[in-house]
Structure formats: C-alpha cells, structure tokens
Structure 1
C-alpha cells in the first residue's frame, strides 16, 4: 500500500482513547507516513512540520478504525441464502465489493471466518501491494467441516483427526492467521445446529496441530454439545455460542460460561443477525408473504434474541472477553453496518465504551496485533475514523462516517454539497 510522504494532522472535538477508557476533548493525532507520531490534547501538540496538512473536525469524534471479528466477505447477502452456489471468480468479485463497503464504514480490519476455496488470500495480496484499497485481513480460508456439514460447499471438508490435522498444516502453510472449524450444524440445509458435527477428539487434533504451529483455533458452535466439545478440546475462541437446544430455543448455561472464562476462551456472540432476520420477516408479515415455516421462525425470534442478550450479561459476569462481529454476508446482515452489532451488545448490558473496545482494542489483542492496531498510540498504524457525534453518548455515531484512514492513507472522505471537505 502506498504511503503518503507529507505528515497529516487530524483535529477533532474529541479523541477516543480506548486503552485508558477516556475521551480527550479538543484532541489531535499527527500521522507521518503510515504511523501515529504524536497525539493527545491539542494544546499539548508540538510544533508541526512545515509541510503538514491539517484536517479539522470541530464537531466530530476521532477513534480507532473498527475491527469486524466475524464476517464472510465472499457471501452475497442481500437476501441471497448463505449457501448460494457461486464460482470462485464470483466469490472473489463479491468480496471486492464487500470489503469496500466495510472499509468506507470505518472497518479497517476484517477477520473473515470462512471464504470459498481460499480466494481471499489473493485479495489480501492485492491490498497489501496497493492494487486495491481494502481493510487489513485476518484469514482462515475455508472452514474445516465434516462431510455434508455446515458450510461444506466452501471447500473445507475434512473428516477424522488425521485428515483434520493435515488440513490445519496446509492452511497455515498457505497463510492462514487462524483455524476455524464447524463444531455444530448451522444454516446449511441438512445440518443440525443443536448437534455436534465434530467430536472432541477431532477438535483436539486441530488444536494440537494449530498450537504447535502457534496459530489460534476458533469453532462455530450453536448447540450445547458442540460448545462442550470445543471447551474440552482447548480451543481459543468460540463463534456464536448460542446454547441452542433441539427445538430451536436457547438456554444460557452459566456453568459452561464459567469454564470459558476460566480457560480464557473468547466469544464472538453475533447478535445482530437475529435482529436482522426478525426485521426481514416482520416486513414480509406486513406484506402478507410469510409461509408457515417463516411464521414459526418469526414467533421464535423474540425469545431467541432475548436469550442472546441474556448471554451477553452472563458472559460478562463470567469474565469472558467478547468480540464484535456481525456475521456480515448472511442473507439479511449486510456489510458496512458493524455499528448495529455494537448497539446489540449494549442492549445485552455492555456500555458504549465496552462495545467499542470489543471492536477495537480487545479484537486487536485476540488477533495478536495489539502492538500495531486497535487503539490510538505512538508508533501504531494510523487506522483511524472520524464520525459525526459522540459514540459514547450515541452508538449510532459510527454510522455517520466523515473520514476513514487506513495505514496513514485517507481511503474515504465525505464531502458536503458546497464542495468543502470539512465544516
């Protein structure tokens, strides 16, 4: 990625310091090339270089770029089913569109939790070489899944401990930053969300090989049996962690959550996708277009959503670190809307600062990138965003993006109707 030679100063009404949990009024950040050279209250700012460009945002907030910890860039969303069959070429082109939507919304890092046949590794190279503007990527390739299991169409089928261990080795050799396995069924037809799809022994084989190669492991788990297997296998993270029962209801288990907390297992709860599904079905109901299955699901969703929110409170009580990821790519959860997941996490009992930290500093630590991204600090990558309003008081403020900077380059800037770039 090309780096600007001239220093740039961003001034804002407030600068959000997620590391210290504070807001700095009338603050600034000085960016030289791709890194932060100095920052803090504007009255403490050292003399600027003669060639510095100053961008002033007197009514806005400056904060770190966001990290979406669970997305599927290859998936079309827009009402298309998760399991829509598409060529690798179309999956790649879809990812190009979706990464742009994430980037201009202030998401400067995407942890993709399952692509199609590894096409995102080429896209990551294109971004790193400056061919395309895009977010930073944390990739796993196609998720490992049993024959006929959830997401099998993505190209990651592996059965049995030996085959799984070999697949882990191949993923890491191909550039995977983490390993993802499918521990229960999901939205793929024929899979069963409440049932385990990999045994504890199979998951443990993946964990042993991945940890030998110093790579973390996460597991898709909706049902309780899968969660139990994942905990006992020693995984690092769990996606969704729904505590789903065979009848489709959810029942949070504080004992299992306590084990996660003691073992340091991180959870990405992915709440907003259920609220998106409810909103879609409510619109269909208003139009009189619901079929019987959809009507049953709509009737279940309020209880499911409330259980997801209760789980957030339970995880917090158990000392489980939570990450912000919205499962963008699912039929009704689009890209560029991570702020809605933050709002959902707040509905579950998190403060605005906790929710924002789940999308910045905590996520960077889990990605093992805390020395480079996730907060505003000296020498860190200048991944920054400017938003209208105060996200601590109004969590929808990140939906009103004025500027996005990725590694010191401005990749999005809102211009008003009179042609001025700043108020």
Structure 2
C-alpha cells in the first residue's frame, strides 16, 4: 500500500490537525503533554503511520519488525503518564481524522484495520511494562554544569535511583521550561548504578539551547532509553567510530564500556576519529588523552585551523595534536586498513548532515554500505527511528 502511505505523507498537517482536534476534545488533559505550538506537536505522527501502512499487507497482521518498532514506541510513550487504556481513545481519533483524506471505501477500511492493530499492539506493550513494574520515566536534578565552549555544555544530572542504559542509547529529555517538547540526549559515560548521568549538549535550535543553558537545581525528566550499539567481539574486525561534534559523547561512552569489560581479548576497543569545525571545539581533550593512555586510539580532525572568535573555547590539553582537513573521511581512510583481514566496521555519530556527508565519503572511497552504521539527529536534537543503529 505504498500509494496510500504516500497519500498520508502528502497531507501531514491536515490529517494531524484533524486527529488532534478529536483527541483533545475527547481527552482534554492530553493537551498539556504536547508543545504549545501546534506546528511542533506530534510531528512524527503521520510519517510513522504512513510507514506502517507501507509495510502492511491487506488482510494480514503486522510484520514482526513493525510490531517491534511499535512496542518500543509504546514504551517511549509511557513517559507521558497516560494509562494503556488511552490507546483506544487515540484509535478513535486516528479514525475520525481520516475524513480529511478523501479515501475510497477500500482505503478507509484498510486504514482503520491498520490503526486498530497499531493501537492494540502499543496498548498491550504498555500494559506488560506496567505489570512488570518498569518505571515510565526518571526524575533527575541538574547537579553541575560546565561550558567548555560557547555552544557546548556538559551537564551532570542525578536521579534518586539507578538509571540503567546501554552504550549509545539515547534518552528523551524534557524540563519544566520545555512544556511538551522532548530532545534526545546520549550519555557520555556508561551506567554505573549511582543514578548519575552526564550529557554533552549543543546549543543548536531553541529547545536544545534551553537544555544547554540549564542551571544546578533544575529538574529534568528522562524517558526510557532507546536505540544503542553493541561493541563487537575481539576478532570480529576493527570498530572505527567517527564522531562529529557532541557525537563524541557516544564515542566516549562506547570506549569506556569496552575498557570496563576487564578482558581486552573479548571486546573490541574502538578506534575513534573525533571531528569538529575547529581546534577549540575539541572540548574534552584531557579525557581523550586519558583514553589514549589506556590504549584507545583517538584521532582529532578539524575542518578549519582557526577558531571562530566567539567560540570562547578553553585551552586544549598539552600535546593534543590534530589534523586539518576539509574532508575528514580522507584522513580516516588513509589511516584505517581496508584491504587486508576482516573489514572494519564504521559507526558514524552526530548531526544528520555531517553523518550523511561522512557516509557518502566512505562509500566513495570503497567502504561497503554494509560496513557502515549511523546514529544521527536533526538540528534540534530530533532523532528518526531509522537512525537507531545496533552493531552486531
């Protein structure tokens, strides 16, 4: 049903507004969980529904991978605090909104069937999670804030209980001054059972800028983590991580997780290339040197030799060298062995534009698409489901 999915995509705003009109009238308290601006409200709703429609055959149940994505989405949505029973109300709203799409009877019936399957799958996942006693979200207080550059903040938050997560997973994060808006942040160190989580935040976009300007004493809400990576076993080929900007936080977490295993013969320690616009944007060079002393190769690459005069960066650690290159993937390919033994795996982390450019550059230089995974986000910290990578 690709044509029907495309029809939904061509009428994103009309359909979304019709659904919300019905849902907000039926469940008035739901309005408070969304952004104040309707333009920023539930932006992924219609693309997600279109994707499910495109991957479902008429008269057949949802595919296993579709159900898996919906299950994860339901677990993510538990952070809003609604009971599983709300999905039946939302299904009614999704069906009511179909009136603006001018569907044929066959298309209408098929859409209703898919909508009901979606909401039943998500309601069941939410009920199972509730029954298992899994926390829908964590409340954490900002304990410390550093500003190594004008655009970057290192923020440590502390929850009352342990916050479990895996390397590379991201948390949906909001706070009282971001009503209805969530941004995805990845921790910069592995979960240690203390309830402390450290995030590196770039002030890009209004919502992310608000988080980057947090103050000690602020309270944040962290939803359940999603996505993640798995460090490959030793002997499975070199893992090369290319991080862009604060994508370094995920690379840092992966390196610490590999070092914490205690048995270097079992887990592959990654080879990291950290890419920034200028030298001062490498804001964590003291820690990078510590990693290098522990056997984690870290190569710093900058696109420009001079820092912008407004960057307000602190000094790099002594001996923190870097390579200047307008094409960072040239440096990577020149330094990574591609032609012998087991081919390396590449993981690209950072803003979608830079990650896309990096992936294209690797492919042009002979790296197979099957060797490349990505974790990327948009300008204001918004992630897309297809960007969740898991390395085998």
Identify the structure with the greater helix proportion: 2
* Bigger RCO (CA 8 Å, 6+ sep): 1
TM-score, normalization by structure 1:
0.25
Q: Which structure has the bigger radius of gyration?
A: 2
